[in-house]
Amino acid sequence: MKYQQIDNQLFIKNRKKFTAEMKPKSIAVFNSNDIYPISADSTLPFQQHRDIFYLSGIDQEESILVLFPDALDQKHKEVLFVRETNEHIAVWEGEKLTKEKATAISGVATIYWLSDFDKIFFGLMTAADTIYFNTNEHYRQAVETETREDRFIKDCKLKFPAHQWAKSNPILQQIRGVKEPEEIEQIQKACNITEKGFRRILEFVKPGVWEYEIEAEYIHEFIKNRSKGFAYTPIIASGNNANVLHYILNNQQCKDGDLLLMDVAAEYANYSSDMTRTIPVNGKFTPRQKAVYEAVLRVKKEATKLLVPGTLWEAYNVEVGKIMTSELLGLGLLDKAAIQNQSKEWPAYKKYFMHGTSHHLGLDTHDYGALKTPMKEHMVFTVEPGIYIPEEKIGIRLEDNVVIQKSGEPINLMKNIPIEVEEIEDLMSNKNKK
Ligand code: GLY
Ligand code: MN
Ligand code: MN
């Protein structure tokens, strides 16, 4: 791993929070992700499943975490299975976890080799009544691939049909939504790396550069700073590409007079940051671009103030809609008649701002987190309003990452990433002086 090891106290705390919610005589199992194939013998780089990482810090394929708080044998209350290494693996793949290293990373005392899983797990299951399965119930999930977890669940249902089944996901959604200080520290590191990337490209962008050249500048800076790379597929969208919300081709040339929207951020230690900045390709906003930009920035600032303990998700989105509506009236994009005729389901502002304002952020970019209950201290959210006007070749989104505080405004983890018009213009003009 390129990142510095996280203190295992985090994973010990996380397991405590999970097991506190388990039923009596129950067992919970968490699997690593597969290494996904491309074709022939090619594979995608390994990405650990975020739940086993959250509960153990183990960042290696073919690992299994078993939690059994009521186990009769103390050493079986938490057990990790890892792939046994050998000389062949050492030569071809390099260092893998030893049992000692797995304990040091996770704080789990009992480590077995994966080859012993079936026998040991059978013994544990005979003393359990319920098994918690880790199904994917994320509100945006649309996964067609059968995961390692899916295969485990199928197999387990066949082998242990008399056990009761329970769901891990609702527990994880609750506990992963509220971040520990060690987690906020990792997200802050990811934001700091993202800042380095953004400052680098402010020096680089000028009319004639290609979107993919900008992408290359970011990845250089990210990896140089111990990130594995992009937290999500980057959007580097000049001109009207910014009006395609999920534009990821990044293959066009940036033109004088156009804006450049970049939704690009680094991961660090599997934690995401999630930034969007919009800058003028030639370093200077036109008066109209600046007016729309300032409107988006005001919405972002006002929306951020609403992220306090007790706020309800739906009410938050309604409020931000009202703030956006007033800005769109100011820009002459909406008129009073449009507002009068709007429906509750599709308010008029959605013509220019058609996506959500915020999402939870953490180990997943669109992270787990409660959305039906009031917001809590130490939840981490993005704030990302935008205004999209294809007919004017303007698409502007601004996105920061904030942590809800017990009282007062949230802390902005991206407060050092330039966002004010003057600052962006100054930094972009500096490069011409060099
Ligand atoms: N970059 C993904 C998002 O902003 O939600
Ligand atoms: Mn984003
Ligand atoms: Mn986002």
226/434: higher pLDDT: 226
Evaluate if residue 255 carries a pLDDT over 70: yes
pLDDT the model gives residue 245:
94
User: What is the rounded distance in angstroms from the CA atom of residue 235 to the CA atom of residue 216?
Assistant: 12
Termini Cα distance of the chain: 37
Please tell me the residue having the least CA distance from ligand 1 atom 3. Answer: 274
Evaluate if residue 244 carries a pLDDT over 70: yes
Let me know: does 400 contact 304? Beta carbons within 8 Å.
yes
Contact 365 CB / ligand 1 (< 6 Å): yes
Evaluate if residue 250 carries a pLDDT over 80: yes
Contact 274 CB / ligand 1 (< 6 Å): yes
Evaluate if residue 391 carries a pLDDT over 80: yes
Nearest listed ligand to the Cα of residue 231: 1
Nearest listed ligand to the Cα of residue 402: 3
Percent of the chain past pLDDT 70, that is, above it, reads 99
Length of the chain: 434
Which of 38-52, 86-100, 169-183, 280-294 is predicted with the least confidence, judged by mean pLDDT?
A: 86-100
**Ligand 1: nearest atom to the Cα of 366:** 5
Contact 367 CB / ligand 1 (< 6 Å): no
What does the pLDDT look like over 361-376, one tens digit per residue?
A: 999 999 999 999 999 9
Using pLDDT thresholds of 50, 70 and 90, give the confidence band for residue 431.
low
Evaluate if residue 357 carries a pLDDT over 90: yes
Active site (annotated) includes residue 258: no
pLDDT the model gives residue 136:
93
pLDDT the model gives residue 432:
53
Evaluate if residue 320 carries a pLDDT over 80: yes
Mean pLDDT of the chain: 96
Active site (annotated) includes residue 263: yes
Using pLDDT thresholds of 50, 70 and 90, give the confidence band for residue 430.
confident
Evaluate if residue 8 carries a pLDDT over 80: yes
Q: What is the crossing angle of helices 181-204 and 421-433, to 10°?
A: 50
Using pLDDT thresholds of 50, 70 and 90, give the confidence band for residue 87.
confident
Evaluate if residue 434 carries a pLDDT over 60: no
Contact 221 CB / ligand 1 (< 6 Å): no
